[in-house]
Amino acid sequence: MSVGDRSGGSDAPVAHLLDEPHHDGSELYVPQRTPRLGEIVPVRFRVPASCTERAVWVRTVRDAEPRMVSARLDSRDEHERWYVAEVPVHNPVTSYRALLDEPGGYRWLNGRGTHARDVTDAADFRLTVHPPAPAWLNDAIVYQIFPDRFSRSGTRHDAPEWAVPMPWDEAPAARGRSTAVQYYGGDLAGVEQRLDHLERLGVDTIYLTPIFPARSVHRYDASTFDSVDPLLGGDDALASLSAAVHARRMRLIGDVTTNHTGAGHEWFSRALADPTGEEASYYYWQDAEPGYVGWYDLPSLPKLNYRAPSLRRRMIDGPGSVIGRFLREPFSLDGWRVDVANMTGRYATDDFTHGIARTIRQTMRAINPDAVLVSEHFHDAGPDLAGDGWNANMNYAAFTRPVWTWLVDPRTSLDFLGIPTPIPRRDGAAMVATMREFGATIPWQVTARQWNMLGSHDTARIRTVVGDPALVEVAAGLLFTLPGTPAVFAGDEIGLEGTTGEGARVPMPWAHREVWDLRTFEVYRSLIGLRRASRALREGGLRWAVVAPDAVAFLRETVDERVLVVASRGPWPGADLPRHLLTAGAEPENLYGGADLGVQPDALRIPGDGPDVQVWRLA
């Protein structure tokens, strides 16, 4: 059955979805260890008592051929039945889905839900022998900093010839050629001076956009990978920031462009000077102007060619590579975010992306087994996330985009992340279907660690997208309660605005606290605290309980905790959930929002308030 609003009428409570069979990769259903090749893994399926199955089978795919495994009834009570199937991990990534044999036919259960028809393998569940991201990512709250706009330390840095110096209190241009050269002078020492703010907010992981010398303030056009930009304070400033961050038991992640360099990069300069030299093999050349291939056809960003073995050694392979060097002391980065990772190593007939990702991961693990590798991929990252390369992805497709469409101001004219139309306003069913569509194509161990974001340095600000601070709270509620690693763009927590990625890179108004939205700051701080206090919100599975046009509700569950989250964008009819979700003899514990969950003899009544976020612990 598809997920949607099943209310009996405009004023009738919305019917719940908990009479559907369920499975995901969390601890209630799958052992939380990385299986070995050849191991037999017991996987569990929850079937509500209202279902009419005669048997449950599990379809696995072994060496590209389907096989059926019988599931045994393991336990039952008056509310549900649990089945267990023994799935052999014969291939490094083993896909499977359940078949429910029912009177009159059968239904498949996969990552998108149940289907009374045949479906492709794309949304099958997956077991993988590849180790997941480091465990600390389960608990992390990531804070993205665009260094030029975060904080100035007071150290004098003379602006380079390409830069247009800007007053700190003046908003940046949202469009035009000046966006890349408007120089505000934020530096790494300035970041170090503001660590108290990050601790007060509750974040524990800093992600810095690029820090290498360049001819722009975004620094994705690096002129060298051998040092830190002197405008940011140089190598000493990064070493000092790293030491200060780690002293506070926080982590620091860098940003690297494995796909391209800047046209001013030392490698590219040598390539132009000597077409027969080593560095000339690092790039793609063509007859058409400008004579070489640029990322997205931009001549300022010549694309790297990984057919060159020495490029691999210098860029990604081994402790002396760019990837390796900055993981080692004195910089000791805790991982990398890889810019346009989906395009790295891909050009025409070349497709080295997966090998590059594996090489980077091997390099990182040899230096720091706890380092994390996160890709940037704006659309369908599923084919690149089997688990052996990138640990996780910046989750635009399965989180940012669907949340925006549900909460966007209907009067908006903002572009929709690369699509030449305004952001569409869609209902809760469309949001959830999109989340499930994209999330179902990757292993759960990746889904659980995806970087969920309400925006970044490449997008409009969430405050501008939704308009209403109350809807910012709803968006933040989803950010901190759905599976994945929450990532916050610096300034969102105080209500900064921006209509484009460039315009959103607003300098932090440290000297003007009067413009801070302190209510939004407390919302973020409280929700971060809530997440830290609940293992179910950090590690639990996900069951969608209610999906209505203006509200969604879901359960996050571990073996020792069940949490109900309700998010609404406006008033709605409310819903009744099964009474047995609440521990016998207990009362719902309100964790956030303050509303009462109605406890009736045969149901739990969710109030139809909105817009708001409500969180209750049920068990």
Confidence of residue 162 (pLDDT cuts 50, 70, 90): very high
**The listed CATH number (2.60.40.10, 3.30.1490.20, 3.40.50.720, 1.10.1740.10) that belongs to domain 40-128:** 2.60.40.10
**Which has the closest alpha carbon to 114: 135, 99, 95?**
99
Map residue 284 onto helix, strand or coil.
Answer: coil
Instruction: State the span(s) of the chain assigned CATH 3.20.20.80.
Output: 139-258+308-536
Taking residue 175's Cβ as centre, other Cβ atoms within 10 Å add up to 10
Q: What's the rounded Cα separation, in Å, for the pair 95 and 60? A: 6
Amino acid at 504: A
Mean pLDDT across the chain: 96
What sign results for the dihedral spanned by CA atoms 145, 147, 150, 153? positive
Residue 97 scores a pLDDT above 60: yes
612: left (phi over 0), alpha (psi -120 to 50) or beta: beta
Query: For residue 435, which amino acid is it?
Result: M
- CATH 2.60.40.1180, the chain: domain bounds: 540-617
Q: 86: number of CA atoms within 13 Å, CB side?
A: 4
**Across residues 2-14, what is the average pLDDT?**
56
* Domain limits, CATH 2.60.40.10, in the chain: 40-128
Contacts of 348 (CB under 8 A, 6+ apart): none
What is d(CA 146, CA 456) in angstroms, rounded to the nearest whole number? Answer: 10
Give the pLDDT band (50/70/90) at residue 215: very high
CATH fold of the domain at 139-258+308-536? TIM Barrel (3.20.20)
Residues marked as catalytic: 339, 376
Q: Residue 227: which pLDDT band, with cuts at 50, 70 and 90?
A: very high
Q: Say what the pLDDT of residue 12 is.
A: 85
Instruction: Say how many CA atoms lie within 13 Å of 124 toward its Cβ.
Output: 21
> Residue 568's beta-bridge partner residues?
551, 612
Position 20 scores a pLDDT of 97
Q: Which residues of the chain form CATH 3.90.400.10?
A: 260-303
pLDDT in tens, 20-78: 999 999 999 999 999 999 999 999 999 999 999 999 999 999 999 999 999 999 999 99
Please give the torsion angle defined by the CA atoms of residues 448, 451, 454 and 458, in that order, rounded to the nearest 10 degrees: -160
Tell me, letter by letter, the H, E, C secondary structure of 160-176: CCCCEECCCCCCCCCCC
How far is residue 371 CA from its own chain's centroid? 17
3-state SS string over 500-526?
CCCCCCCCCCCCCHHHCCHHHHHHHHH
pLDDT band at 157 (very low <50, low <70, confident <90, very high): confident
Tell me: pLDDT of 6 over 70. Answer: no
The CATH number of 260-303, from 3.30.2040.10, 2.60.120.460, 3.90.400.10, 3.40.449.10, is 3.90.400.10
CATH superfamily of 540-617: Golgi alpha-mannosidase II (2.60.40.1180)
What was the pLDDT predicted at 8? 40
pLDDT single digits (tens) 398-441: 999 999 999 999 999 999 998 999 999 999 999 999 999 999 99
3-state secondary structure 185-218: CCCHHHHHHCHHHHHHHCCCEEEECCCCCECCCC
% of the chain exceeding 90 in pLDDT: 96
**pLDDT tens, 449-499?**
999 999 999 999 999 999 999 999 999 999 999 999 999 999 999 999 999
pTM recorded for the entire structure: 0.96
pLDDT digits (tens, 9 = 90+) for 280-338: 999 999 999 999 999 999 999 999 999 999 999 999 999 999 999 999 999 999 999 99
Q: What is the pLDDT of residue 10?
A: 57
Angle at 94 between CA 93 and CA 95, to 5 degrees: 115
